[in-house]
Amino acid sequence: MPHSTALTHIILFINICSVLTFTACNKEEGYASVKIKGQVNDILNHPINQLLVTITNKENDKIDQFRIDDTSGKFERIYLFETPQDITYVIEVKDTDGEMNGGKFESQTKILSISKFDYVKQQSQLAIHRIAEKEVLFVLEYKD
């Protein structure tokens, strides 16, 4: 009788390990995300805050508009998608408060392209996510 119980426990253990291994190997494909990190400085390399940033996704014309409220002049945005996509973003930085943030600055626009090859896999316990991360630096000139 003890051998029968031990054998039952061994078989149960093997079955549980098989299920766990199968589950771990067959993770679902999760969401895709794009992370844009930005930095805005003046020509003397000093960070600028309180600027208006407009990020436009050219594929679907969605607009994300916000103010940089970090004194380091940095911003970070994350956009989620069902699957990895080729995307072009138009990013505009604009001074709308005059001299309150250290001077009057010229606006600047940059194009940021994300391709399907920019995405890297990141695994969670249940899914595999694809993440693309890009950085963009703006150096703004003073207005006369």
Query: What does the domain layout of the chain look like in residue ranges?
Result: 29-140
- 60 near 85, Cβ under 8 Å? no
Instruction: Provide Rg for the chain, Cα atoms.
Output: 25
CATH number of 29-140: 2.60.40.1120
pLDDT at 96: 87
pLDDT at 144: 76
Q: Which two tokens stand for residue 140?
A: 């703004």
pLDDT at 142: 92
Name which of 18, 15, 39, 46 is nearest 108 in CA terms: 39
CA angle, 85 then 89 then 68, to 5°: 125
Q: What burial letters (b/e) apply to 36-61, b meaning 16+ CB within 10 Å? A: bebbbebeeeebbbbbebebbbeeee
Q: What is the pLDDT along the chain (144 residues), one digit of tens a residue?
A: 455 666 665 666 665 655 554 444 566 777 899 999 999 999 999 999 899 999 999 999 999 999 998 889 999 999 999 999 999 999 999 998 777 767 789 999 999 999 999 999 988 777 888 999 999 999 999 987
Q: Which two tokens stand for residue 7?
A: 């054998």
pLDDT at 123: 85
Cβ count near 130 (within 10 Å): 20
DSSP state of 82: S
pLDDT at 23: 47
